[in-house]
Chains A and B, each alone.
Chain A
Amino acid sequence: MISLKDPEAREAASGYLKKVDKLIRSLSGKDQEDIRMEITAHLEESIQHQQGEDELKAVKAAIHKLGAPEDFIQPLVEERKMNKASRTFKPGHVLSAFLAGTGNTILNMIKYCTLSVLYSPVLLFILLAIAKLVSPQKVGYYTNEAGKMVFFGYTTVTVSGKEQLGYWIVPVFLGMALIIYLFVTGMLRLFSRLMAFLRKCIQPGN
């Protein structure tokens, strides 16, 4: 923490760092600490270099020179989220990168709804796998005498035809859930990268 004697100066510096903390709170603990330490070190050195100023004036001058946290912390947060998303298939990281860069609540709602729709088949196949274990006679892959598929999934009525896979349909359902999950997540990563690229093109200075 920056050591200042003037309580108003301490308040001003602390207020600025709280704004930084608020902007970085969606990052991992390690990234938060990394950014916070760097900004604090910058602020401390800048305050020390405001020669001849009282502490409060020095803090205000240093804060003014550093700039509004919203202007430079947000691009930093987006970049870090994008880096993490590009190294992992974890949905949390991809989701975080996908949602980064917007404070628009309506846009976030649209994104959440879109994500729900895209990932719903994953949930569906997982539920089908569970349903097979719970009610095996209601789930299956049925074919007619000619070997043509007549039904695939969950049913509450009797299906004509013969069930072919038995409990092997469970790994089939789980495999399909995994394939869809990887495909949707991969597409989201690509989309997030594309959006980040387009944002850079629009604001090259950032």
Chain B
Amino acid sequence: MENEFIQKWDSQVRKGVLEFIILLMLAGKKRYGYELITDLKARTNYDIAEGTIYPLLNRLKSDGLVESSWEEMEIGIPRKYYKLTPQGKKTLGEMKNYWSTLSLNIQSLIQK
């Protein structure tokens, strides 16, 4: 029962921070979908289908936090690159502050 509870909780936490992680990965560098999701899975242990990156990126784009552009490659199919908009950078900054505060608060509760 406890394992099941932890699994559900873990799933909810991961879902909740996924957009934050994607924005962090786009900070300072434009990236395309395949690159983003493979890097994300390599750095974290998110077990998600690679295709799920696309509705997430589309939502971030709808929210005005990222923008996209197609770039021709020397060989192969063009790639669609994503990068943060000025609004996206500002929002990421706020999210980082929020995360720092939250982490400190939780850590202080753990240490009690």
- Chain A residues in contact with chain B, CB under 8 A? 34-35, 37-42, 44-46, 49, 65-69, 71-73, 75-76, 79-80, 82-83, 204-206
Contact = CB atoms under 8 A, between A and B. Distances in A.
Contacts of B15: 204-205
B55 A75 contact: yes
Nearest to A67: B49
B62 interface: yes
Contacts of A204: 12, 15-16
Contacts of A206: 52, 55
B59 interface: yes
28 contacts: A39-B54, A41-B34, A41-B76, A41-B77, A41-B78, A41-B79, A42-B33, A42-B50, A44-B77, A46-B50, A49-B38, A66-B49, A66-B51, A67-B49, A67-B50, A67-B51, A67-B52, A69-B51, A72-B49, A72-B54, A76-B54, A79-B55, A80-B58, A204-B15, A204-B16, A205-B11, A205-B52, A206-B55
Nearest to A46: B34
Contacts of B77: 37, 40-41, 44
Interface of B is mostly: helix
What 5 pairs across the A-B complex have the smallest Cβ distances? A67-B49, A72-B51, A75-B55, A205-B15, A67-B51
B8 interface: no
Contacts of B12: 204
Interface string B46-88: 0011111011001100100000001000001111100000000
Contacts of A69: 51
Contacts, number: 72
A75 B49 CA distance: 14
B49 A79 contact: no
B33 A65 contact: no
A34 B77 CA distance: 12
Contacts of A45: 34, 76
Contacts of A39: 51, 54
A94 to B, nearest CB: 17
Given A71-B49, A76-B54, 6 more contacts: A41-B80, A42-B34, A42-B50, A49-B38, A67-B50, A205-B11
Contacts of A37: 70, 77-78, 80
A126 to B, nearest CB: 35
B14 to A, nearest CB: 8
A206 B51 CA distance: 11
Nearest to A83: B62
